Amino acid sequence: MNIKRHGAALGLVAASALLLSACGSDNNAQRGDTAAANSANVDCGGKKELSAEGSSAQTNAIQEFVAEYAHICDGFNVAYNPTGSGAGVKQFIGGQVDFGGSDSPLKESEVEKAMQRCSGNPAWNLPMVFGPVAVAYNLPGMEGLVLKPDTIAKIFNGGIKKWNDPAIRELNSGANLPDKNIVVIYRSDESGTTDNFQKYLQAAAKDSWTQGVGKSFKGDTGEGKAKSQGVTDGVKATEGAITYVEKSFADAANLGIAKIDSGAGPVELTDEAAGKAIAAAKIKGSGHDLVLDLNALYASKEPGAYPLVLVTYELVCSKGYDAETSKAVKAFLTTAATSGQDNLTKVGYVPLPQEFRTKLLDAIKAIA
């Protein structure tokens, strides 16, 4: 077993891809012996540079994973292209990347194609990143905005058009809400974030959101922007705008983040509130295919829980890789599921609950 724990500079190269780079020796020095001590035994080796593509929602988490992987496995990299979940699924199924990233599990229509890509073996959905989704807005002077699921649904399908609409005023007594148009900014590209957001609205506000779900936005209102960074930039540049985006992006842009009142009082988006909701999520997949059942989570009215979260899956072959690729994929995913989780809070994600880490490691070990 070739287990390495040396510092390493991180360089990611992907043609026409966003370069995700971590600092070299300084970054590894910060990680130090603590991260190495907290990591599982990682069997480094195999393919020197893995390729992956998909969800932009997990970009910052992947950057942390890759930095830790380079720290533990000297000389090994992952080139990750954050082109969105739809592209990630297509590239994985097409055999163009070693693994894909998606904010939604493979659909039934994609399962057979993925099996063909994996030489007749099942592909697995492995939940690696939990990210709270913020309802982020740009409304100067308005802090602590409170919205209910029904109100959010009506904003994003055009049913509520003004910031001083009675439904919003009722939830924000005493607030100085302007007589200003609400500008909805949505993801123009296929996105698992969109899919999860619409699934949340369908579960939590079924009477108000009748547009359906899917990776394409169905609200029929607003302006489309590409990728998570695109919608964030759009809101930041537009007074009166609102969007749905991962917390890490909203935090980085210093946007307002709405509190959600699911029926038991307003809940601020915090790690604790999101973690409370995540702890209730159940696995509905079989064996090592760890697909989560989020419908009950989205409709939850549990006090103190923030239910609007997405899960990013890494799409992998259970079997069918060549030996070099299999070894490297397992080493990277083991790192991501263990010490790679240590720094996720600072970039806007919620570290995996321990029970998920155990199940993930069992699945990763089973990859052949």
Say yes or no: 352 and 230 in one domain.
Answer: no
Q: Give the residue with greater pLDDT, 181 vs 358.
A: 181
Q: How far does CA 107 lie from the centroid of its chain? A: 17
Binding residue numbers: 55-57, 85, 103, 191-193
DSSP 42: P
Domain presence at residue 303:
no
Q: Would you place residue 139 in the very low, low, confident or very high pLDDT band (cuts 50, 70, 90)?
A: very high
Of 150, 153, 100, 147, the C-alpha closest to 123 is: 100
Say yes or no: 33 and 137 in one domain.
Answer: no
- CATH number reported for the structural domain that contains residue 355 in this entry: 3.40.190.10
What is the spatial distance between Cα 104 and Cα 196, in angstroms, rounded to a whole number? 7
Say yes or no: 180 and 267 in one domain.
Answer: yes
Say yes or no: 71 and 174 in one domain.
Answer: no
Residue 264 CB: number of other CB atoms within 10 A?
A: 12
pLDDT at 325 > cutoff 60: yes
Say yes or no: 191 and 163 in one domain.
Answer: yes
Domain presence at residue 16:
no
Say yes or no: 95 and 73 in one domain.
Answer: yes
Residue 10 is predicted with a pLDDT of 32
pTM for the full model? 0.73
pLDDT at 40 > cutoff 70: no
Say yes or no: 116 and 210 in one domain.
Answer: no
Domain presence at residue 61:
yes
Say yes or no: 93 and 109 in one domain.
Answer: yes
- Give the least confident one: 34-38, 191-195, 290-294: 34-38
Domain presence at residue 17:
no
- Give the least confident one: 224-233, 286-295, 297-306, 351-360: 351-360
Q: How many domains does the chain have?
A: 2
Residue 15 is predicted with a pLDDT of 35
Say yes or no: 154 and 272 in one domain.
Answer: yes
Domain presence at residue 10:
no
Say yes or no: 270 and 344 in one domain.
Answer: no
Say yes or no: 40 and 152 in one domain.
Answer: no
pLDDT at 57 > cutoff 90: no
Q: Would you place residue 215 in the very low, low, confident or very high pLDDT band (cuts 50, 70, 90)?
A: confident
Mean pLDDT of 159-175: 97
Q: Would you place residue 356 in the very low, low, confident or very high pLDDT band (cuts 50, 70, 90)?
A: confident
Q: Which of 278, 301, 328 is the last residue of a domain?
A: 278
Say yes or no: 221 and 336 in one domain.
Answer: no
**pLDDT tens digits, residue range 267-308?**
999 988 988 888 777 889 999 999 998 888 899 898 999 999
Residue 9 is predicted with a pLDDT of 32
Binding residue numbers for phosphate: 55-57, 85, 103, 191-193
Range of the domain at 41: 25-131+313-366
Domain presence at residue 101:
yes
Is residue 179 within 8 Å of 163, Cβ to Cβ? yes
DSSP 86-109: HHHHHHHHTTSSSEEEESSPPPHH
Which residues, 6+ apart, have CB-to-CB distance to 174 below 8 Å? none
Domain presence at residue 1:
no
Q: How far does CA 321 lie from the centroid of its chain? A: 25
Give the chain's end-to-end CA distance (angstroms, integer).
Answer: 16
Mean pLDDT of 140-162: 97
pLDDT at 176 > cutoff 50: yes
Domain presence at residue 284:
no
Q: Which of 255, 278, 301 is the last residue of a domain?
A: 278
- Most confident range (mean pLDDT) of 24-33, 112-121, 263-272, 294-303 is 112-121
Average pLDDT, the chain: 88
- Give the least confident one: 6-10, 45-49, 92-96, 317-321: 6-10
